[in-house]
Structures are given as C-alpha cells and as structure tokens.
Amino acid sequence: MKIIEFEQIYHKSFNVLCNKAYRMTNDVNAAKDIVQNVFLRFWNMKDTLIINTKPEAYLYRAVVNETLNYLDKKKRLTIIQDDKEAVNIASGQTTEEEIHFSELQQKVNTLLAQLPPKCRRVFLLSRFENMTYKEIAGFLNISENTVDNHIKKALALFRNELLIIMSIIIERF
C-alpha cells in the first residue's frame, strides 16, 4: 500500500471510525486514541497484512475490537481499583504500609529503567497494557519468539532482585 492510498483511506474513514468508537466508549479522547492506534498498526503491518475485504471494512472491525479491548481493560482496572480501596479500608492500611508500597513502586521503576529500551517496551506492553505476545509482535513488527525472549529477560531481572529483597527482609526478622 502506498502512502497516498493510506491517506485517502485515513481521511475518508477517520471520522466514521471515531464516531463508532465514541458511541461505544462515550469518551472522545479514548475514541480518537483507539482509532489512531488502529491506523498506526494498519500502517505498520501494511506489507504483511492480507485483507480479504475493503480496507474500510477491516478498519471498522479493528476499531470495534480495539474498543472492546479498551472497555474490558477499563472494567478490569476499575475492579482492581475498587478491590484495592476495599482492602485498604478493611485492613486499615497504615501510612507505614503506604510508604513501603511507594518504595516498592520506586524499586519497580528503577528495575524497569535498567532494562534495555526494546525489552522495557515489550515488558510494559505485556504487563501494563495487557497486550498478548502476538499483539506486541504485530505492533512492534518483531517475532513472537523475540517478544517471549524480552519478557523472560525482564522477569529474570525482577526475580533476581526479588530474591535479594526477600533475603534482606528475612535477615531482619
């Protein structure tokens, strides 16, 4: 696909696709982000993508699927947040525990910064964006095996650091 064809499809379909995503999300910004992500993946996969329908039909289905994934992720995050608040209320989480949690978050961020950029990006997409290996591979234009290797490398770093932290905690008690 040439850039001129892509631009024509983009200009012809963008508003229609945004309207569909908006009707599903009731969030203008989320709808635009979803459509932009779909077009970005569509462009990145233009050379390998085999479409048996019109590109507009493919994009429409991709936007619907991406929006459903967004809504599912949003629902899970809401449930997690509600559960976290309930646990905090039920356990009477103290300021000290909140400080420990904050320190743990800082440690995770430090570990993430130690990862090579590509490995970090793959790990963040997997763990924080809940993308599958296949989705990550398509999005970054790499093989699923490469995605798997990056995830293994990141988890090994986290595992090693966790063992060190656990040994320090055990020594204190």
- pLDDT tens for 64-89 read 999 988 888 877 766 666 656 655 55
What's the pLDDT score for residue 13?
92
What's the pLDDT score for residue 28?
92
Fold for the domain defined by 94-173: Arc Repressor Mutant, subunit A (1.10.10)
What's the pLDDT score for residue 12?
92
CA end-to-end span of the chain, whole Å?
Answer: 64
**CB 154 within 8 Å of CB 115:** yes
Q: What is the DSSP letter of 131?
A: -
What's the pLDDT score for residue 159?
86
What's the pLDDT score for residue 20?
92
∠ CA 35-132-75, nearest 5°, is 65
CATH of region 1-93: 1.10.1740
- Say what the pTM is: 0.47
Length of the chain: 173
- pLDDT tens for 112-144 read 888 898 998 898 888 877 888 998 898 888 999
Residue scoring higher pLDDT (96 or 148): 148
Can you list the alpha helix ranges (DSSP code H) found in 26-143?
28-44, 55-91, 95-114, 117-127, 133-140
- Contacts of 34 by beta carbon, 8 Å cutoff, 6+ apart: 21, 25, 63, 66, 67, 70
- pLDDT tens for 91-110 read 555 566 667 677 777 887 88
- pLDDT tens for 3-34 read 898 899 999 999 999 999 999 889 999 999 99
Q: By three-state DSSP, how is residue 3 classified?
A: helix
Domain-wise residue ranges, the chain: 1-93, 94-173
The one-letter amino acid at 83: D
The one-letter amino acid at 9: I
Q: How far apart are CA 108 and CA 61, in angstroms?
A: 37
- Contacts of 124 by beta carbon, 8 Å cutoff, 6+ apart: 112
